[in-house]
Amino acid sequence: MNPDRSFTGSLPIIYDAYLVPLIFEPYAADLSERAVSRAPTHVLEIASGTGAVTRALSAALPQGVGIVATDLNQAMLDQAAARGTLHPVEWRQADAMALPFADGSFDLVVCQFGVMFFPDKSKAFSEARRVLRPGGGFIFSVWDRIEENEFANCVTSALEPMFPEDPPRFMARIPHGYFDASIIERDLAAAECRSAEIATLALRSRAESPHIPALAFCEGTPLRNEIEARKGRLSDATDVAASAIRARFGEHDVEGKIQAHVVTVDKS
């Protein structure tokens, strides 16, 4: 698997323990509110990761609503299933660009911070549209540019001196590499998904210490794969990132801006 999309080993556990509460849970609450307002009966989540949105949806939607949560990485689904949900959820390994579901199977498709990882975004959008019933909705979120996301930007900048000839740029390249609204609209149009509404939502990311965001990004994302590929020690990289966060945000109870786009498309 492409190292940019590989979540294996201890990475899913660190991701779930540190990165999810740091940056994913605030947006999961927002996405679940948007989902509830549509009163769906059958929901598909793609690129569900370790289940931040899945847990929020399970808690917010009526018990009778069917939820199918998919991800390309089985290890992420295993971690999500181990955490559990309030109501039953079907966990299923699946590629967002080739969904194993019949046309019109769902009335809502959601995806939180997964689209950036899809090699062919228009193909994934087309698949989401295909499995939607007429009148159904597709809601997804993507991170804004890295400069609008302070912890991610700080960590990325801090690691550059460690690898001056080839700095690891995973965070800027993938998670924060799909922020241009005009490109998103172009890719949606290519999939016959038109009249998209794009809302930009700024929130705050908080942690008890600088070490937590440093650990979350350096060891709980595929940035870890880049560090190891450059023969760097993860512990050293994490320490460097923590020092940079400490210098900018303080010793305790650090807080930084996070910003994302939330996109809503209705299937006419």
Q: What is the pLDDT of residues 189-241, one digit of tens each?
A: 999 998 899 999 999 999 999 999 999 999 999 999 999 999 989 999 999 99
Instruction: Report the alpha-carbon distance of residue 251 to residue 158 in Å, rounded.
Output: 17
Collapsing DSSP to helix, strand or coil, 98 comes out as: coil
In this predicted structure, the answer to whether residue 1 has a pLDDT above a threshold of 70 is no
Find all residues with CB under 8 Å of 208, minimum gap 6, and list them: 252, 253, 254
What does the pLDDT read at residue 183? 98
Rounded mean pLDDT of 237-259? 98
Averaged pLDDT for residues 165-189: 97
Give the H/E segment covering residue 262. Answer: strand 254-266
Average pLDDT, the chain: 96
How would you label 154-189 residue by residue, b for 16+ Cβ within 10 Å and e otherwise? Answer: bbbebbeebbeeeebbbbbbbbbbbbeeeebbebbe
Structure tokens at 216: 């979350």
pLDDT in tens, 99-129: 999 999 999 999 999 999 999 999 999 999 9
Calpha distance 107→208 (Å, rounded): 39
Domain that holds residue 232: 3-266
Residue 195 has a pLDDT of: 84
Return the sign of the alpha-carbon dihedral for residues 234, 240, 243, 247.
negative
Torsion of CA 13, 238, 157, 256, to 10 degrees: 60
Could you give the number of structural domains in the chain? 1
CATH number of the CATH domain containing 212: 3.40.50.150
The percent of residues above 70 in pLDDT, for the chain, comes to: 100
pLDDT tens sequence across 52-87: 999 999 999 999 999 999 999 999 999 999 999 999
pLDDT above 90 for 98:
yes
Q: What is the pLDDT of residue 268?
A: 80
